[in-house]
Amino acid sequence: MVDDYFFLSYARDDEENRTHIERFFEDLRTEIRLQEGSLGPDDPVGFRDQEGINVGDEWRPELTRALCRAKTLICLYSPRYFYRPYCGKEVQVFLQRQRAHLPAGTAKAILPVIWRKPETIPSALSPIQYDHVDLPKAYRTRGLRQLMISGQRYKRPYQDLVEWLATKIRKSYRTPLREAGDLDFENIRSAFEEGPSDQPTADAYMVQATGPQAVRFVYVAGTKSEIECNHVRLILDAYGQYRSHWNPYFSNRNDDCIWKIAVDVARQSGINPGEIDVGHDLLHELRKAKQENSLVVLIIDTWTLKLPEIKQKMREYDDTSFLNCAALVVWDESDETSEGREALANLLVEIFDDNYGTNHSHLFRPDVRSRDALVHELAETLRILKFNVINRGQPMRVIAGKNEPLPGF
């Protein structure tokens, strides 16, 4: 008998969704069988716990076996999901297996699916991209639950999503992710709990998710596959499987990935970090952050602006004027970038023509060229944005010699 291809992790107490989740689970198993061709009716393919686990209950043998041996964890993101300890434990098991057996910086063992879009994503999962340009547009804007309850209207996007997920799961099944050894599930720590970690805690996102003490970062960077498939540039070492893995300094240090730098600066500034994915309805998310009095910082890779969809989203951003939002453009120091600097600078001017002409130049910093500069400029930007939000409608006065804008092109 083969190991389970996937383990479905979801908030089991959401009774209104039970029928739809059962159907999704069966449709996904059926699609994997169809794509593989060699699986028999008794091969497990996927595992779903239907009974749930209460505090103090023992983990059933069949559940622990599937959790230790399945090759992919499908996480059904919803507002309830991140408040369920057993879901956090399931995520933690896969995070541990992933660190032990998969190359650093990858997250092939965990595949998020948006059931209902949550307000925040715990930091343990925030580096894992849950949006992809090749996913059905209806799913990206509405989520899986909405596709399923709408009947025939979104039948095709739903089928496309299931096919896409099945393909990803089959690919992950062939990774070197080995079975977990003996684990004390009762005492395993939920990935969503507060505590020491290489990443900020989930509570840091959830306790203070809005207001001037919260910032949402938008990582405007392509994934490695996007950059390669669209022939954006030749050097791919700076990019990873997810946007937040972008490392403009080409180092092997996790501390140099853009997500880690941004989160560390925010925390040192006493501000709770969160994330907005550039692949979603960006303007809607920016307006929402404005209503919540939250800060937003876009951190932009110049090369990624060559992607048509990203280019259009940045033009739309440029047409807005939110005093709670700012953008930093980060340049890497590669020879390829040096040779292409003039063309990239012209592209910046074309896209951000309004920002180049604004009086709030301290909210648009187009020339961040080193890690130290990024840390300094980001900290300064957060200070100014926080002032703007607290003093609504009164932009912070720039003091000569202290907050001078970086030169444009």
Final residue in a domain of this structure, among 158, 173, 188: 173
Let me know whether 54 and 157 are in one domain: yes
When pLDDT is cut at 50, 70 and 90, the band that residue 307 belongs to is: very high
Same domain for 138 and 214, yes or no, is no
296 and 367: one domain?
yes
Does residue 85 form part of some domain?
Answer: yes
For residue 291, the enclosing domain spans 208-390
268-304, pLDDT tens digit by residue?
999 988 888 886 678 988 998 898 899 999 999 999 9
pLDDT band (50, 70, 90) for residue 96: confident
Torsion angle defined by CA atoms of residues 18, 22, 27 and 32, in that order, rounded to the nearest 10 degrees = 130
Which pLDDT score is estimated for 397? 40
What's the CATH code of the domain at 13? 3.40.50
Pair 251, 362 in one domain: yes
Stretch 114-125: mean pLDDT: 84
- pTM assigned to the model: 0.52
Report pLDDT digits (tens) over 127-163: 788 888 789 999 999 999 999 998 889 999 999 999 9
Let me know whether 158 and 285 are in one domain: no
Does 187 reside within a domain?
no
Q: Which of 39-43, 389-393, 398-402 has the lowest mean pLDDT?
A: 398-402
Residues 259 and 129 reside in one and the same domain? no
pLDDT tier at 350, thresholds 50, 70, 90: very high
Q: Are residues 154 and 226 in the same domain?
A: no
- pLDDT single digits (tens) 160-188: 999 999 999 998 888 777 777 666 666 67
Q: Would 12 be classed as within a structural domain?
A: yes
Query: Same domain for 259 and 385?
Result: yes
* Tally of structural domains, the chain: 2
Instruction: Name the residue among 293, 264, 255, 302 with its Cα closest to residue 392.
Output: 293
pLDDT at 73 over 90: yes
In a domain, 104, yes or no: yes
In angstroms, rounded to a whole number, what is the distance separating the alpha carbons of residues 96 and 369?
35
CB 296 within 8 A of CB 325: yes
Give per-residue pLDDT as tens, 355-397: 887 756 689 999 999 999 999 999 999 999 999 888 864 444 4
The answer on 228 and 106 residing in a single domain is no
Distance in angstroms (rounded) separating the CA atoms of residues 221 and 104:
19
80 and 218 together in one domain: no
Residue 232 shares a structural domain with residue 142: no
Q: How far is residue 261 from each of residues 104, 191, 193, 308, 374, measured CA to CA in Å?
A: 17, 21, 22, 27, 9
* pLDDT above 90 coverage of the chain, percent: 43
The reply to whether 167 and 306 lie within a common domain is no
Given this model, what pLDDT does residue 276 score?
85
**Whether the Cβ atoms of residue 302 and residue 311 lie closer than 8 Å to each other:** no
Name the average pLDDT for the chain: 82
